[in-house]
């Protein structure tokens, strides 16, 4: 009796699996052939895989979704496993494109079996969030004060340096607790790159990277770990992505920029920061924003990249990849602001176009000329 029961459920399970497989197969059959993109190039049917950065994942998913609606013959599968893993997988050629929040170093590029190109996609800002009694909003910070706080040389909220930046604010006599990202992240890379630019002490003692040896403070895992610890700890200060801070309505600080103005982090002020470096872009597009010019520029920001091989081995895949990149830079920019990312100014798009045109199959460029 029991035996037949087991057999019955096995048969049922097998039937369920078969039905599922049919559904999946039917869904897969829906797209075939190719349609032409706005740029006049036929987009072939292809399946692309990518892996890497988590920071741009929301905008990339939006892009894949919208691109997929226009070109259902292209199927893009992206795993947001972290920039390091993205670099590793594109180097090992297990994915068609990688994604990283930090530009690859010369040593990393040298390990790749062929020439890799950096395609900057979007920029994002990093926001200083804090929790101190009496300053519910509108804290002002100078680069010097910020770096000293994270170096551990300014340890109290009523430090004269903080009072000087924020006239009229009554700071409590409370210890400052700094909170940083404990997991390696592009956010940390942007933040430490900024401190590295503005503070010689930071440059010589700590440096920049996705993980650094923090002089003090607590480590929180992810944006939620940092914001959780900041909001739960009186006297805490930390840094998170702009989108995360806005969506969770965290208090954030204005930063003093190179022009001497205190600027709040917004999509507009980050766009201003990007504008400040367009004139001096390096040829390989490995961009460092440093401490950008521009009177309205919010200074703590950085680009995230898609990494692709210059010489594509598979014509259909290469064509689909280039079509997607071209679409993302041109048509995709209309989706960025809603997700608190910053797209490239027109002058920069031209340079990125030139970079995409370098991607070729057998010497033949795959991009619209």
Partner 1 sequence: MSSINNLRDKFRDASRPARGRLGDTLFTVIAFLAAATIILIITLLVYQLFEGALPSIRAFGADFLSSSEWDPVKDIYGARVFIYGTIVSSLLALLMAVPLSLGIAIYLSQFAPRWLRSPLGFIVELLAAIPSVVYGLWGIFVLAPFLGQTIEPFFADHLGGIPIFAGPVYGVGLFAAAVVLAIMILPTISAISRESMLNVSSDQKEAAQALGATPWETVRMSVLPLARPGIIGAIILGLGRALGETMAVTMIIGNRPEISASIFAPAYTIASVIANEFAEVTAGLHMAALVELALILLVITLLLNLLARLLVQRTGSGALKRKRS
- Contact positions toward partner 1, by CB under 8 A? 81-85, 87-88, 91, 107-108, 111, 175, 177, 182-185, 206-214, 216-221, 224-225, 228-229, 232-233
Is the CB of 54 or the CB of 257 nearer to partner 1? 54
CB of 14 to partner 1, least distance (A): 23
- In whole angstroms, the minimum distance from the beta carbon of 232 to partner 1 comes to 5
Copy the structure tokens of residue 49.
């895989």
Rank residues 210 and 258 by Cβ distance to partner 1 and give the closer one.
Answer: 210
CB of 181 to partner 1, least distance (A): 9
- How far apart CA 317 and CA 29 sit, in angstroms, is 18
Exposure string for 325-361, b = 16+ CB within 10 A, e = fewer: bbbbbbbbbebbeebbbbbbeeebeeebbebbeebbb
Minimum distance from residue 219 beta carbon to partner 1 (Å) = 3
Non-local CB neighbours of 302 within 8 Å, separated by 6+ positions: 101, 102, 123, 124, 126, 186, 189, 190, 193, 287, 288, 289
Choice between 71 and 150, CB closer to partner 1: 150
| One-character DSSP codes across 65-134 | HHHHHH-TTEEEEEE---HHHHHHHHHTT-SSEEEESSPPPHHHHHHSSS-EEEEEEEEEEEEEEEE-TT
What does the DSSP assignment read for 174-232?
-B-EEEEESS--HHHHHHHHHHHHH-HHHHHHT--SSS---SSSEEESHHHHHHHHHHH
Locate 21 and state its tokens.
């497989």
Cβ proximity to partner 1: between 206 and 322 the closer is 206
**Do 83 and 50 touch, CB atoms closer than 8 A?**
no
* Whether 96 contacts 317, CB under 8 Å: yes
Nearer to partner 1 among residue 194 and residue 335 (C-beta): 194
Tell me whether residue 28 or residue 207 sits nearer to partner 1 (CB atom).
Answer: 207
Q: How far is the CB of 108 from partner 1 (least distance, A)?
A: 6
Q: What burial class does residue 309 get, using C-beta atoms within 10 Å of its C-beta: 0-12 exposed, 13-18 middle, 19+ buried?
A: buried
Residue count of the chain, please give it.
Answer: 369
Q: Which is nearer to partner 1, 307 or 356 (CB)?
A: 307
| Min separation Cβ 217 and partner 1, Å | 7
User: Min. distance of Cβ 347 from partner 1 in angstroms?
Assistant: 31
Whole-number minimum distance, CB 96 to partner 1, in Å? 19
Q: Quick one: 257 or 304, whose CB is closer to partner 1? A: 304
């Amino acid at each position: 009796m029991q035996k037949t029961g087991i057999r019955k459920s096995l048969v049922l399970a097998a039937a369920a699996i078969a039905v599922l497989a049919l559904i999946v197969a039917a869904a897969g059959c829906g797209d075939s052939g190719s349609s032409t993109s706005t740029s006049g190039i036929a987009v072939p049917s292809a399946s692309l895989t990518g892996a890497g950065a988590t920071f741009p994942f929301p905008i990339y998913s939006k892009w894949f979704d919208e691109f997929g609606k226009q070109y259902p013959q292209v199927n893009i599968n992206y795993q947001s496993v972290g920039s390091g893993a993205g670099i590793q997988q594109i180097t090992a050629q297990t994915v068609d494109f990688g994604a990283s929040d930090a530009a690859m170093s010369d040593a990393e590029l040298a390990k790749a079996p062929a020439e890799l190109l950096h395609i900057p996609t979007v920029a994002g800002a990093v926001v200083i969030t804090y929790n101190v009694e009496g300053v519910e909003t509108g804290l002002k910070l100078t680069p010097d004060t910020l770096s000293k706080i994270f170096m551990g040389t300014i340890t109290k909220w009523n430090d004269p340096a903080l009072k000087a930046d924020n006239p009229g604010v009554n700071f409590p006599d409370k210890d400052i607790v700094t909170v940083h990202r404990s997991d390696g992240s592009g956010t940390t890379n942007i933040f430490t790159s900024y401190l590295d630019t503005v503070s010689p002490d930071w440059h010589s003692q700590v440096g920049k990277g996705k993980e650094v040896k923090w002089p003090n403070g607590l480590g929180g895992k992810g944006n939620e770990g940092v914001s959780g610890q900041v909001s739960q700890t009186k006297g805490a200060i930390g840094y998170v992505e702009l989108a995360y801070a806005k969506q969770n309505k965290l208090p954030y600080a204005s930063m003093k920029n190179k022009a001497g103005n205190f600027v709040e982090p917004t999509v507009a002020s980050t766009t201003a920061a990007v504008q400040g470096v367009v004139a001096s872009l390096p040829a390989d597009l490995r961009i460092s924003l440093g401490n950008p010019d521009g009177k309205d520029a919010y200074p703590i920001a950085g680009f995230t990249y898609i990494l692709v091989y210059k010489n594509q081995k598979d014509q259909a895949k290469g064509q689909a990849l280039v079509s997607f990149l071209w679409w993302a830079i041109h048509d995709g920019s209309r989706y960025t602001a809603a997700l608190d990312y910053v797209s490239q100014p027109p002058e920069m798009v031209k340079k990125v176009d030139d970079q995409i045109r370098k991607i070729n199959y057998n010497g033949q460029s795959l991009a619209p000329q």
